[in-house]
């Protein structure tokens, strides 16, 4: 029988979980988990209350360690009653081996979300980590057909992310705080929205914890409508990661009948983020990447004559010239969002505001500012048609 599990990040999350029939919660310690925010004292207090109501507590130890951080993590683990947890969740092989050596009676849950995507590799881990291995936490990139085989053929239980953000990129480097001009160290997590040059219209959530920087897809994975079928497959756990939307959504999810498609559709419409089904329905990697590309950045047969580098309101637009142009010609700009603008070049100057009759490739020039023009706007000599 498939059950829900979720991660706990603060006291208010825990109080909500106590009031609803959720079977498992995952405790994330700030020194053991990449996005953990709980300290030892808080976990001990919560663990005691959770065990009293007879439910399962899991401890997340998902850091990838160097020798120094590994020894620090061991110190934290020695302060926790590991035997009180139903299982310990790890993705560092050194961490798994330490638990096998020093706590051979504990159950392990092996996180392979960012590594193995095929059944052969998963079966090797299954064999290597037994008899302690209790569950494999599988990747969101496994399509339904492969996932069904994994659940059927793996001797241990399987878990997938059912609702939550999809991690695209992780670095142990602190990429957000390095941009802080004051060089002050942040006491907590930092968050920002970033975009890429290829898709400036898509804002990707970025979080920095003391363990590194995490970049997430701009849509939430949402597989609740497939819960019944996953249950039929034999999936053990359906994980809910609600840290970005708030644990107040948990009761709505738990209380939604998985057979009631109308209720699930209503919940999706009310969801605070856009949703998608990821690779679950089909492994269409190339099509997904194609959809991520901004159509207004695809030049096709009509090549741009320039690109906007800077938009200084009521002053100028700075253009990087790609093809020769003459002063006074009619130009057309296409913003990353697809807005088409008329641009004037009758006051074409260099960056010292000297008048120019023409401009050549790789030259930076200035023209009058135009409302709605932003950096990355492509400039054409013929009005483009994206119809």
Q: Is 53 exposed, middle or buried, given 0-12, 13-18 or 19+ CB atoms closer than 10 A?
A: exposed
Residue whose entry in the numeric block shows the structure tokens 């990087």: 320
- Containing 53, the helix (H) or strand (E) segment is none
**What percent of the chain shows pLDDT beyond 90?**
71
CA-CA distance, 31 to 95, in Å (whole number)?
14
pTM over 0.75: no
Percentage of the chain with pLDDT > 70? 90
What's the CA angle centered on 218, arms 212 and 221, to 5 degrees?
A: 95
Long-range CB contacts for residues 52-56, cutoff 8 Å, separation at least 24: 53/18, 55/22, 55/23, 55/24, 55/25, 56/23, 56/24, 56/25, 56/86
CA atoms within 13 A on the CB side of 55: 22
> Which whole number is the average pLDDT over 145-174?
93
pLDDT tens digits, one per residue of 74-133: 999 999 999 999 999 999 999 999 999 999 999 999 999 988 889 999 999 999 999 999
Q: What pLDDT, in 10s, does the model give residues 274-309?
A: 999 988 875 455 554 455 566 666 655 578 999 999
Q: What is the pLDDT of residue 210?
A: 87
372: left (phi over 0), alpha (psi -120 to 50) or beta: left
Choose between 322 and 196: higher pLDDT. Answer: 322
| CA contacts within 13 A on the Cβ side of 348 | 24
The predicted-structure confidence for 222-251, as pLDDT tens digits, reads as follows 999 999 999 999 999 999 999 999 999 999
Whole-number Å distance between alpha carbons of 133 and 345: 68
Residues in the chain: 387
- Contacts for 115 with CB less than 8 Å, ≥ 6 apart: 91, 121, 139
Q: What are 326-365's pLDDT values in tens digits?
A: 999 999 999 988 889 999 899 999 999 999 999 999 999 9
């Amino acid at each position: 029988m498939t059950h829900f599990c979720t991660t706990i990040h603060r006291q208010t999350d825990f109080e909500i979980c106590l009031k609803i029939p959720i079977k498992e919660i995952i405790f994330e310690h700030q020194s053991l988990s990449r996005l953990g925010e709980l300290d030892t004292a808080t976990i001990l207090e919560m663990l005691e209350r959770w065990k009293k109501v007879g439910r399962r507590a899991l401890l997340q130890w998902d850091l990838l360690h160097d020798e120094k951080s590994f020894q620090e993590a061991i110190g934290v683990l020695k302060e926790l009653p590991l035997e009180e947890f139903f299982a310990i969740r790890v993705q560092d092989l050194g961490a798994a081996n330490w638990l096998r050596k020093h706590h051979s009676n504990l159950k392990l849950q092996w996180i392979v979300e960012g590594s193995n995507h095929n059944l052969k590799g998963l079966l090797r881990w299954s064999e290597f980590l037994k008899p302690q291995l209790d569950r494999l936490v599988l990747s969101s990139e496994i399509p339904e057909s492969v996932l069904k085989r994994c659940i059927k053929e793996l001797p241990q239980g399987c878990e997938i992310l059912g609702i939550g953000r999809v991690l695209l990129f992780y670095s142990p480097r602190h990429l957000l705080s390095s941009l802080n001009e004051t060089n002050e160290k942040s006491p907590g997590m930092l968050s920002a929205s970033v975009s890429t040059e290829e898709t400036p219209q898509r804002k990707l959530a970025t979080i920095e914890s003391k363990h590194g920087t995490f970049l997430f897809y701009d849509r939430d994975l949402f597989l609740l409508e497939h819960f019944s079928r996953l249950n039929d497959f034999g999936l053990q756990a359906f994980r809910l990661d609600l840290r970005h939307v708030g644990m107040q959504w948990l009761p709505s999810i738990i209380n939604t009948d998985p057979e009631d498609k109308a209720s699930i559709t209503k919940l999706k419409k009310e969801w605070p983020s856009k949703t998608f089904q990821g690779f679950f329905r089909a492994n269409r990697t190339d099509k997904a990447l194609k959809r991520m590309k901004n159509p207004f950045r695809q030049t096709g047969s009509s090549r741009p004559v320039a690109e906007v580098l800077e938009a200084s309101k009521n002053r100028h637009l700075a253009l990087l010239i790609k093809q020769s142009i003459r002063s006074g010609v009619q130009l057309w700009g296409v913003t990353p969002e697809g807005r088409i603008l008329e641009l004037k070049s009758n006051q074409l100057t260099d960056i010292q505001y000297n008048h120019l009759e023409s401009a050549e490739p790789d030259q930076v020039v200035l023209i009058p500012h135009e409302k709605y023009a932003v950096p990355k706007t492509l400039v054409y000599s013929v009005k483009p048609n994206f119809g």
